Amino acid sequence: MGLFDSLKNKKNEPQGPVVAGAVTAGTFVPMAEIPDEAFAGGILGPCCGIEPADGQIYAPFDAKVVSVIQDSKHALGLLGPGGAEVLIHAGIDTVEMNGDGFTLHVKEGQKVRKGQPLLTMDLERVRAAGHPAVVIMAVTNSDRFAGQTWLAEGELTQGDDILRIEV
């Protein structure tokens, strides 16, 4: 790597905290109240949920889509500013639906902008299948950062500041 490459890489790193927006409109759900033991216990990293008002899920910040669960279409991973890795998981145990009721709007490797549609879930189908529809945002590499703070509570509009990651 040359001198200019290292300067360019540093220039692209955020100089302060990374702030993520709510991926959907709805009601904030603290980690301990997510109706799934793995997420509520923080096994996949610090997280929160949003009980969705609709089934539209959007990018929380400018990012690269690094993983997509193609078969079930219910989850995807983003690589965001400062190297933040965020898992977005639509519904609880919705992997069992085998993609029924889910539509992906992105593919692995794609770059997305904050607020860009990522996926849609049919809330009626999810609930009819007996699954909670809560949408989860988890910071899967939180140990890499100085900390993270959940900024929200109550009712959210899509895009509202919900998470600050100290890089």
Would 37 be classed as within a structural domain?
yes
Supply the pLDDT for residue 167: 85
pLDDT of residue 30: 97
> Which of the four pLDDT bands, split at 50, 70 and 90, describes residue 8?
very low
For every residue of 4-21, DSSP letters joined together read: HHHHHHHHHS-SS-EEEE
Within a domain: 8: no
Contact 89/74 with Cβ under 8 angstroms? yes
Q: What is the value of pTM for the model shown?
A: 0.90
Choose, from 74, 89, 105, 131, the residue flagged as catalytic.
89
Q: Is 54 helix (H, G, I), strand (E, B) or coil?
A: coil
CB atoms within 10 A of CB 75: 19
Q: How many residues does the chain have?
A: 167
Angle at 14 (CA atoms; ends 19, 22), nearest 5 degrees: 15
Q: How many domains does the chain have?
A: 1
In a domain, 3, yes or no: no
- Closest Cα partner for 47 from 83, 82, 85, 73? 85
In-domain check, residue 116: yes
CA angle 104, 110, 111 (to 5 degrees): 115
126 domain residue, yes or no: yes
**pLDDT by residue (tens digit) across 142-161?**
999 999 999 999 999 999 99
Lowest mean pLDDT among 8-12, 87-91, 135-139, 153-157: 8-12
Q: Which of 75, 92, 82 is nearest to 148 (CA)?
A: 82
Q: List the CATH number of the domain containing 116.
A: 2.70.70.10
pLDDT tens readout for residues 62-115: 999 999 999 999 999 999 999 999 999 999 999 999 999 999 999 999 999 999
Looking at the domain assignment, is residue 10 inside a domain?
Answer: no
Task: Report yes or no on 159 lying in a domain.
Answer: yes
Concerning whether 74 is annotated as a catalytic residue, the answer is no
Q: Which structural domain, as residue segments, surrounds residue 20?
A: 16-166
The pLDDT confidence band at residue 118, using thresholds 50, 70 and 90, is: very high
